[in-house]
Amino acid sequence: MFDISHTPVSVTIAHMAELIDSVAEANHQVLGPIINDVTQFHSRAIPTISVHDYLERVAKFVCLENDSLLAVLVYIDRITRAQIHRPALAPSPFNIHRMALAAIVVAHKFNSDIFFNNARYSKVWLILTFVMLAECY
C-alpha cells in the first residue's frame, strides 16, 4: 500500500518512472514513431537519460515532494486523454521527458510554497529557457 505521508520521495520516483516507462514503451510499440504529427513535446531523438534518472535529477535540484509527483501523474494522464483526438500526444520515448517537464513545472508551482523562475527550471532540465517556455505555456 502506498502511504503518501510516509513513503520516501525516491521510492515514489522509482514507482512513477516504472509506470511512465511502461506506458511510453507500450504506446511506442503500438503506434510506432509519430513522423507526420509531432507536438511541442517531441524531441528529435530519444533522450539518453532514463525517466528515472531524469526525475531523480529534478527532485534533487527542485526539492519535489510526493504531492507534486502525484500531481504530475494526474497531469500526464490528462494530457494523454487528448490522444483520442491527436495520437501524437500518446506518451512515447520521444516525448515523455518533455511531458514530465511541463507537468512538473505546473505541479511544483501549484503545490509548493517555494518555486523557482523558469531559468532555474531550464538549467535543471538541461534545456534552453525559450524551449521550456514554448512547451509549458
**Measured in Å, how far apart are the chain's first and last C-alpha atoms?**
36
Instruction: Give pLDDT tens digits along the chain (137 positions).
Output: 677 778 999 999 999 999 999 888 887 787 776 666 677 777 778 888 889 998 888 888 777 888 889 999 998 888 878 777 777 778 888 888 888 888 888 888 888 777 667 676 666 665 544 444 444 44
Cβ(103)–Cβ(79) below 8 Å: yes
Which residues 6+ apart lie within 8 Å of 78 measured at CB?
none
- CA dist 106 to 35, 55, 75, Å? 28, 15, 9
| Residue 29: burial class (beta carbons within 10 Å; 0-12, 13-18, 19+) | exposed
Reading the block at residue 17, the C-alpha cell is: 518512472
